[in-house]
Amino acid sequence: GNSVTQMEGPVTLSEEAFLTINCTYTATGYPSLFWYVQYPGEGLQLLLKATKADDKGSNKGFEATYRKETTSFHLEKGSVQVSDSAVYFCALSVRHTGTASKLTFGTGTRLQVTL
């Protein structure tokens, strides 16, 4: 079956520090990979995605590269801000038929950025 493993939190960083949140996956077929973010009091939002091997997804200064050889999709940001404090979820989907596919999520990593 499909599964996603991501590093446990919480991760606490000072503002402007470098961020890495590790994510590895197991999937049957060829998955698309995603990072979702949940800010306090808000719903899940798509942060970035990559749909094939070696693709790099990027948004709001965050990046993640789809590494098929290591089955990984680590999230990185060069300089975090207090406003990045949130819970980050790694997820995958495997398209079977049609254009819609269910998402399989990791357990989430809470990031706390302090001044």
Partner 1 sequence: GAGVSQTPSNKVTEKGKYVELRCDPISGHTALYWYRQSLGQGPEFLIYFQGTGAADDSGLPNDRFFAVRPEGSVSTLKIQRTERGDSAVYLCASSSQGTANYNEQFFGPGTRLTVL
The residues binding partner 1 (CB under 8 A) are 4, 32, 42-46, 49, 51, 89, 91, 93, 95, 98-108
Closest to partner 1 by CB, 6 or 84 = 6
Closest to partner 1 by CB, 77 or 93 = 93
Nearest distance in Å: CB 33, partner 1? 10
Nearest distance in Å: CB 10, partner 1? 11
Q: Where in the chain does DSSP place strands (E)?
A: 3-6, 11-14, 19-21, 23-26, 32-38, 45-50, 56-59, 62-65, 75-77, 86-93, 104-105, 109-114
Closest to partner 1 by CB, 60 or 102 = 102
Q: Each residue of 61-93: b (16+ CB within 10 Å) or e?
A: ebbbbbeeeebbbbbebeebeeebbbbbbbbbb
Nearest distance in Å: CB 60, partner 1? 16
Closest to partner 1 by CB, 13 or 103 = 103
Determine the Cα–Cα distance for residues 52 and 28; give it in Å rounded to an integer.
Answer: 14
Nearest distance in Å: CB 38, partner 1? 9
